[in-house]
């Protein structure tokens, strides 16, 4: 249970950072927090208390005691995607910094309604 709460807390903090913080880097951190929270959530879904890795070749381990492998696969994928996203975001931040000379989001407002 604590994992779930933790995961959602992470997501909430991430959202908070994106909404309140004015610095682009902090927004990036917020994004990362959301991604991490999600990953934590996925992993914790598959988690079985005291379980082991789901490797059949070792034998003599009950299927029940195995951690569900699918969420882990999902997590790996999600981490990869999240990382690439973050990298792209960082690239954007660099470009923005080049254009505006600042990281303050309040000053990066040329596009409006």
Q: Among residues 9 and 89, whose Cβ is nearest to other proteins?
A: 89
Cα 96 to Cα 83: distance, rounded to the nearest angstrom: 20
* Residue 15 Cα distances to 10, 20, 81, angstroms: 9, 8, 19
Q: Does 34 bind other proteins (CB under 8 A)?
A: yes
| Sites for other proteins among residues 36-65 (CB under 8 A) | 37-38, 41-42, 45
Q: Measuring CA to CA, which residue among 65, 78, 74, 68 is closest to residue 46?
A: 68
C-beta closer to other proteins: residue 9 or 74: 74
Cα 41 from chain centroid?
A: 10
Comparison of 2 and 60: residue with beta carbon closer to other proteins:
2
Q: Which of 35, 62, 64, 76 binds other proteins (CB under 8 A)?
A: 35
């Amino acid at each position: 249970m604590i994992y779930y709460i933790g995961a959602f807390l992470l997501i909430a903090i991430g959202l908070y950072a994106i909404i309140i913080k004015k610095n682009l880097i902090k927004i990036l951190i917020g994004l990362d927090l959301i991604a991490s929270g999600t990953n934590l959530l996925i992993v914790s879904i598959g988690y079985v208390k005291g379980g082991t890795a789901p490797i059949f070749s070792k034998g003599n381990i009950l299927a029940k005691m195995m951690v569900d492998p699918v969420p882990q696969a999902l997590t790996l994928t999600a981490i990869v995607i999240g990382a690439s996203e973050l990298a792209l975001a960082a690239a954007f931040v660099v470009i923005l910094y080049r254009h505006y000379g600042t990281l303050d989001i309040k000053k990066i407002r040329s596009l409006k309604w």
